[in-house]
Structures are given as structure tokens and as C-alpha cells.
Amino acid sequence: MRGGRSASFLLDGLTGVLLFLLLFPVIWIFLGSIKPDPDIMAANPWPTRVTFENYIAVFNKEGFLVALRNSLIVGLSSAIITTALAAPAAYSLSRFDYRGKAAVNLLILGTQTLPVVAVLVPIVVIVRNLGLTNTLTALIFTHLALGLPIAVWVLKGYIDAIPRDLEEAALVDGCGRFEVMVRVMLPLLKPALVAVGTFAFVLSWGEYLLALSLVSKSDVRTLPLALQTLFDPYQFSWGTVMAGGVVIALPAVLLFLVFRKQLVGGLLAGAVKG
């Protein structure tokens, strides 16, 4: 009994240390965002004076609100399209047998082994040849290409865990395959769809390299590019930069807080075989 308590205490202690290490940079950036610039480099990490001037400066920065709108458009569009395409693709890979299925699975996994830098030049050339440079459409579809393979693979795992008896019963009752997917599978996949959609949004929201390569005009910049403009070589403010970082991180945090039950349910659903 004592050995079990000691192991549990040690495990809790290690978890607490890891959690502190993960959260410390986030807490430090938030505290810096509400400090005046002279206090940021002070020895005392806690703010002695609280100010929201840094946030006001961020939103008054030329083009920041436009970048916020662009990021919302690109992120939401990528999440919706990724979820809509991944669900039927994952259902097909999970339930149907056809020639080339193993190759498709291998290709989906193979795309996850390539870093974005490895395919950056072909993507830029394709986008340029299609005349989509400096458009939100280019960002939406390139972000879709990044998030769709992993979304399909994750949803396939969830569908594999759902008993086939439910579909067979619906087919016996006269439903077609499309009706089975819409009426039977999609309600059961709701936590997984929320998880995949949230992942696709966060992936698109914080993506920097493709946006830097495909966008040069200020009216189509996304938030990561707008944050870069806060590093003014003539008038630099760490407080403003930290406030911009908090603004960029906030939507992702809110998404996880709002959908935390569905996200946890999706993870558990994928971990249990039916």
C-alpha cells in the first residue's frame, strides 16, 4: 500500500513539474503583455503595474484587424472543408474493400512524414501557375492539403471502432450507404468530427511558412504575418509583441475550452474497440 502511494505521489509530482514547464512560457508571455515595457526586464516576474496599453497598440496597428479577419476566414474554411471531406473518405477506407486501398493508406501515412519545407517549392509553383498568389483561396487549399490526410486517418480509426452491426441493421431496414453514413455514422462520429475540425482550425490558424511564401500583400496577410510586423526596428516594444502573441493564442484556447467534452469523448472513442 505504501509503495503504491509513493508511486502515485511521485507520478503526481512529475506531472506537476511537466505541467509547470509547459505553462511557464505561456504565463510569462501573458504577464509580460500586461506590463509596461520598463517592467518587462525587471527581476520581479509579477506585474507591479497592470496596463492594457499593449493590447490597444496591437489592435491599433495598421492591418492587424484585417489579418484577424483573414485568419478567421482561412481557419474556419479549412476546418469545415477538411471535416466535410475527411468523413466520407475515412468511411470508404474503413468499410469498403477495393483495389489500391492499401496504397491509399500508405500514401496518407507517407504525407505525414514529409515536412512542409520539402514540398514548399512545388506548392509555390503550382499556386503561381494557377494565378492564386496573394489570395485567401490559396491559403485555404494549401492548409487543407496539410490537415486532410491526418484527419482522414484519425477518423478512420474512430470508424473502425464502431460495430458493423449498427450499419447492417440500417441496411436491412432499407437504408442506402449514403443514408447509413448520414443517419448512423455521423451522429456517432460527432466527438471525432469536433476533434478533427478543431485540429484543422488550429493547424491553419498558426501556420506561418506557407503564408509567408504565398502572400506578400498586406490585405491578405494572416495573423502570424501580422505579428511579424510588430517587430519594428525603429520602435520596438516587447509588451506589444507579447500582447499580439496572446491574441493569436486566445481563439485556440477558447476552442479547446468550449469543446473540451467532445474532444475528450473523441479521444476515448478512438481508444476503445466496439
Indicate whether 150 and 212 sit together in one domain: yes
Q: How many domains does the chain have?
A: 2
Q: Classify residue 255: in a domain, yes or no.
A: yes
CATH number of the domain at 252, please: 1.10.3720.10
Q: Classify residue 76: in a domain, yes or no.
A: yes
Indicate whether 112 and 87 sit together in one domain: yes
Indicate whether 28 and 80 sit together in one domain: no
Please list the pLDDT of the chain residue by residue as tens digits (274 residues). 555 677 777 887 888 888 888 888 888 888 888 888 888 777 677 777 888 888 998 888 888 999 999 999 999 999 999 999 999 999 888 888 888 888 888 888 777 777 888 888 999 999 999 999 999 999 999 999 888 988 898 888 888 888 888 788 878 877 777 888 888 888 888 888 888 898 899 889 989 999 999 998 888 999 999 888 887 777 778 888 888 889 888 888 888 887 777 666 555 554 444 4
Q: Classify residue 220: in a domain, yes or no.
A: yes
Indicate whether 112 and 229 sit together in one domain: yes
Residue 37 φ/ψ, nearest 5 degrees? -55, -40
Indicate whether 44 and 70 sit together in one domain: no
How far, in Å, CA of 175 to CA of 181, rounded? 10
Q: Which domain holds residue 127?
A: 62-271
> Per the structure block, which three cell numbers stand in for 263?
474532444
- Rounded to two decimals, what is the model's pTM? 0.83
